[in-house]
Amino acid sequence: MSERVELTILRNLFFNEDFTRKVTPFIKSEYFTSRDERILFEEVEKFIIKYKNNPTKEAILIEIGRRKDINEDECKSVENLVNGFREEEVNIQWLLDTCEQFCKDRAVHNAVLDGIKILDNKDKKRTPEAIPSILSEALAVSFDNHIGHDYIDDAERRFEWYHTKEKKYQFDLSYFNKITKGGVPAKTLNIALAGTGVGKSLFMCHCASAYLTQGLNVLYITLEMAEEKIAERIDANLLDLTVDDLHTVPKQLYDDKVKKINTKTTGKLIIKEYPTASAHSGHFRSLINELSLKKDFTPDVVFIDYLNICSSSRFKGGNISSYFYIKAIAEELRGLAVEFNVPIFSATQTTRSGFVSTDIGLEDTSESFGLPATADFMFALMSNDELESLGQMKVKQLKNRYNDPSVNKTFVIGVDRSKMRLYDVEGSAQTLIDSNISKTEDAYDKFSDFKL
């Protein structure tokens, strides 16, 4: 049956222009099990790409005769295949469906063989962790019939899209909502850039707490701190207790506060710890699927603390530069966000020069500039002794696909580190650096020696 399908596909590449135009981008030579058929497809594909038309049998026979990598018997076998083709009437939709199923089956078959090679250590470039990704890619093979947006014909659909309100996940911080036009959408990767001790985890714990109170399901994955330490920070934020008070508060008062939170939200918060550099997107995917199966929990928002200490599902860290390795992790996490239709929040460290800079930029991202190239939204968190004394933190937009990053480019937010909480500062305390918004001289420009 498989051989018959292959011959049907090859024959129609000669005689069916509509079929050829739709399927050529998706068929690969490795899908054909017979060497004769692979050779024939390679020549047909080259002809179509070069001349933008179906080949004639005569043209392909000439090209086959010119090949130096096949022997006389193989040449004769391919010629017999070509000479045996006759134009036949066929239902185009059946032909497309059959060809698509053939491509799917062969892609999965080849992916399984690739996985076996990896497990047998015959593939030196990929690790066993790459197998789920290889299989997922094979299972996703399909013919995409959408060939572009027609500016005139699709005007009505475009108008409807303009007036369809995109679902956003709002912050509880007004300036973050301003710069994102009401929050972050699903299928996005959002990155906080900061130095050690400035507030990467504080920011993510605060946002996780805020989303929980909005009734959302929140998954917090930590590779840096223990599950209990993350829960401690979220307790301080939600229960309105300092971190120190949590260790002395009476049990009854603690239980009462937790119950009060439980009555205010329909959401759940799951915290999962992995050892540093031991987990990647494949582990996170399995975790989400397992939570759905065992706890009936599907996250609305995911936090990963933090990106640089994740591992890649595709590459070994020792065999690749940090630029490509961190970029690969970012791509995998963004792919995970798309797969599960969630926004993902994570963080990254500054470079050594960025750590002492008073005004950091994307170039101060540690290890890989490929990370900001992949992120949808990226911002820096900065502090110094004077800002600390004011109970404030400086925020600077670095990349923003949701809005114009030059508007409200820099602003401040309040921070209560004892309760692991962020808040909006009063209007009189908010000093904008963005010249498009305010001509007021930035009071923070005089600050030096920022901790990033």
Q: What type of residue sits at position 25?
A: P
| Sequential DSSP letters for 170-182 | --SSHHHHHHTTS
**């009854």: which residue's tokens?**
252
Instruction: Tell me, yes or no, whether 184 and 308 share the same domain.
Output: yes
Six token digits for residue 150:
């027609």
Contact 285, 132 (CB under 8 A): yes
- The pTM of this model reads 0.65
Instruction: Tell me, yes or no, whether 174 and 58 share the same domain.
Output: no
Number of domains, the chain: 2
| Range picked from 3-12, 289-298, 306-315 for highest mean pLDDT | 289-298
> CA distances (Å), 241 to each of 16, 211, 234, 250, 426, in order?
72, 19, 10, 12, 23
Instruction: Tell me, yes or no, whether 206 and 104 share the same domain.
Output: no
Query: What distance in Å separates the CA atoms of residue 433 and residue 444, rounded to the nearest whole number?
Result: 8
Task: Count Cβ neighbours within 10 Å for each residue of 158-178 and write b for 16 or more, e otherwise.
Answer: eeeeeeeeeebbebbbebbee
| Cα distance between the two ends of the chain | 64
Domain that holds residue 6: 2-139
6, exposed or middle or buried, with CB in 10 Å at 0-12, 13-18, 19+?
A: buried
Listed residue (348, 334, 349, 345) closest to 304, CA to CA:
345
Average pLDDT over residues 179-195: 94
| Sequential DSSP letters for 196-223 | TTTSHHHHHHHHHHHHHHTT--EEEEES
Q: What is the pLDDT of residues 396-441, one digit of tens each?
A: 999 999 999 888 888 999 999 999 999 998 876 665 444 333 433 3
Query: What distance in Å separates the CA atoms of residue 303 and residue 204, rounded to the nearest whole number?
Result: 7
Final residue of a domain: which of 139, 155, 187? 139
Question: Rounded to 5 degrees, what are φ and ψ at 236?
Answer: -60, -40
Instruction: Tell me, yes or no, whether 363 and 248 share the same domain.
Output: yes
Q: What is the pLDDT of residues 55-69, one digit of tens each?
A: 999 999 999 999 999
Q: What is the pLDDT of residues 117-151, one digit of tens each?
A: 999 988 888 888 788 878 877 877 777 666 678 88
Mean pLDDT of the chain: 86
Instruction: Tell me, yes or no, whether 135 and 175 share the same domain.
Output: no
Instruction: Tell me, yes or no, whether 65 and 196 share the same domain.
Output: no
Name the more confident of 445 and 124.
124
Query: What distance in Å separates the CA atoms of residue 225 and residue 214, rounded to the nearest whole number?
Result: 25
